[in-house]
Every structure is written in C-alpha cells, then in structure tokens.
C-alpha cells in the first residue's frame, strides 16, 4: 500500500494578516510548511509527500523542504482549497491511501498522523481526527437570533490529516461539489467516515492569536 500525503499550502492567509501565503509564515523560526512536512516524515507512516503551493512559489519552495528518504514533491495549487487538493491528487496517481494535511496545522504530533494511517490500514475507507467541542454551539438565523442548541455530546471538531482510500477520494473529487473539508465530499457519496481521537496540538493556525500560541509551543518543543 502506497501512502501519499497531500499538503495544501496554497492559501493566502488573509485572516492571519502577515501579508504572505500562510504556509510560508514562520513558527518558531521555521515555515509552517516545513514543520508540517517534517511531522509527516517523522510519523514513519507516509511513503511520499506532495505539497501544493501558489504557482509562483513552486521553485523556491523546494529549498524549504526537509531532505529525507521520503520523497517530497511540489506542485502548483489552485484558487480554492479543493482546487489545490485536486491538483495534488492528480500528481499522485500511484497512491493507494491518501492523507490530506493542512500546512497550517504545523504542530500536529506525528503520533496523530500514525493513528489515522493505522485506522486506514485496519480497513476504514475514510478517517478524520476529532475532538469534543468545549464551547456550547448554537445555530442562528440571518438576524443572529438563536434557533437551536444542538447537544454538544454529539458534536466533534475535526482536524487533519484526514485519511482516505485513494479511489474513494478520487471519486468524491470527481463529483465536483463543494464542502468545507475533504471528508465532507466523501460523506456526500454515502461512505462512512470514521473518527480517531484528535490532538489539541493539531490546531489550525488561522488568526494572529493562533500564531502567538504556536510560537510559544514551538519554542518549548525546540528547546
Ligand atoms: N489552501 C490551499 N489552497 C487554497 C486555499 C487554502 O492549499 N486555495 C490551504 C492553506 O494553505 C492551508 C489549508 O488549505 O494550509 C487550510 O486553509 P486556511 O486555513 O483557510 O488557509 P488560508 O486559505 O491560507 O487562510 P485564509 O482563509 O485566512 O486566507
Ligand atoms: Mg482559507
């Protein structure tokens, strides 16, 4: 079984506000992309990595990537995250299992990556890391008035890497609809998506506050 990790890193990082594509923003002295790829390699669970970056950054990205026995390739991403993942899938025709892992989850522990791959190897077709939600979640209408309070015990916050049987993910992407994550596309095909326990350290660095937290955590980890 060939496990290929696709790393979407072509986003602009508008919410972070650092005036450069987010995957190239440094956390504890290294670009988020470099850290995310190193985590995949350190898991020992991945055979091949494909990173998707803004087209104009493909050449310079190569110098940022860790050198190891795991080959890491760089391809151009697209305008939306789904376009970037589609480009990565096209570059990995030999994959039997695919992980999709946001570069922005730069501090993801390698053990979480291995948990996802182990679940796939045990026969699951789709696997996502999940954490219980700690806030109460409410639905609201267009005016902001609350319309409901779903039972929190049945809700999970979903992280990456998300893992899939490669053929299933290709079929999901062939349909061409939109979803906020890759598993959402697979759910639309009626496939069962399994959860494994996520990890708070796999949080997505999205806002300036997240970056402060990530830098603090990286400084601790690297000493
Ligand atoms: N991503 C991508 N291609 C896009 C958009 C996003 O590869 N066209 C990647 C990002 O680089 C990131 C991951 O998908 O690693 C999750 O996206 P997000 O956190 O939304 O990152 P950005 O799109 O960069 O941030 P923002 O939405 O604030 O601009
Ligand atoms: Mg985005």
Q: What's the pLDDT score for residue 221?
A: 82
Residues with CB under 6 A from ligand 1: 8-16, 22-23, 52, 77-81, 84, 102-104, 204, 206
pLDDT confidence tier of residue 172, bands split at 50, 70 and 90: very high
> HEC string of the chain?
CCEEEEEECCCCCCCCCCCCCHHHCEECCEEHHHHHHHHHHHHCCCCEEEEEECHHHHHHHHHHCCCCCCCEEEEECCCCHHHHHHHHHHCCCCCCEEEECCCCCCCCCHHHHHHHHHHHHCCCCEEEEEEECCCCCCEECCCCCEEECCCHHHCEEECCCEEEEHHHHHHHHHHCCCCCCHHHHHHHCCCCCEEEECCHHHCCCCCHHHHHHHHHHHHHHCC
Torsions phi, psi of 117, nearest 5? -65, -40
CATH number (domain holding residue 59):
3.90.550.10
pLDDT of 52 over the 90 cut: yes
- Looking from the CA of residue 8, the nearest atom of ligand 1 is 7
Residue 124: domain span: 3-221
CA of residue 122 to ligand 1 center, whole Å: 30
C-alpha R_g of the chain: 17
ipTM: 0.99
How far apart are the C-alpha atoms of 132 and 11, rounded to whole Å?
27
Number of domains in the chain: 1
Q: Distance from CA of residue 100 to its chain's centroid?
A: 5
pLDDT digits (tens, 9 = 90+) for 102-142: 999 999 999 999 999 999 999 999 999 999 999 999 999 99
CA of residue 123 to ligand 2 center, whole Å: 31
Residue whose Cα lies nearest atom 21 of ligand 1: it is 11
Q: What's the pLDDT score for residue 148?
A: 97
Q: Which residues of 75-95 are buried (b: 16+ CB within 10 A; e: fewer)?
A: bbbbeebbebbbbbbebbeeb
Kindly state the average pLDDT of the residues 91-105.
Answer: 98
How far apart are the C-alpha atoms of 20 and 11, rounded to whole Å?
9
Quote the mean pLDDT of the chain.
97
pLDDT digits (tens, 9 = 90+) for 9-38: 999 999 999 999 999 999 999 999 999 999
């Amino acid at each position: 079984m060939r496990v290929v990790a696709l790393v979407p890193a072509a986003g602009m990082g508008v919410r972070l506000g650092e005036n450069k594509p987010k995957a190239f923003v440094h956390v504890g002295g290294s670009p988020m992309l470099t850290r995310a790829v190193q985590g995949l390699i350190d898991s020992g669970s991945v055979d091949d990595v494909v990173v998707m970056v803004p087209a104009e950054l493909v050449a310079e990205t190569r110098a940022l990537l860790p050198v190891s026995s795991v080959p890491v390739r760089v391809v151009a991403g697209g305008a939306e995250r789904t376009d970037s993942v589609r480009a990565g899938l096209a570059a990995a025709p030999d994959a039997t299992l695919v992980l999709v892992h946001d570069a922005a989850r730069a501090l993801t522990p390698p053990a979480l990556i291995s948990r996802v791959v182990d679940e796939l190897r045990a026969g699951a077709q789709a696997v996502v890391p999940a954490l219980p939600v700690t806030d109460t979640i409410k639905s609201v209408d267009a005016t902001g008035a609350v319309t409901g309070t779903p039972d929190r015990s049945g809700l999970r916050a979903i992280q990456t890497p998300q893992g899939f049987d490669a053929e299933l993910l290709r079929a999901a992407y062939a349909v061409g609809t939109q979803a906020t994550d890759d598993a959402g596309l697979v759910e639309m095909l009626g496939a069962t998506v399994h959860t494994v326990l996520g990890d708070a350290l796999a949080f997505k660095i999205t806002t300036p506050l997240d970056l402060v937290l990530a830098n603090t955590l990286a400084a601790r980890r690297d000493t």
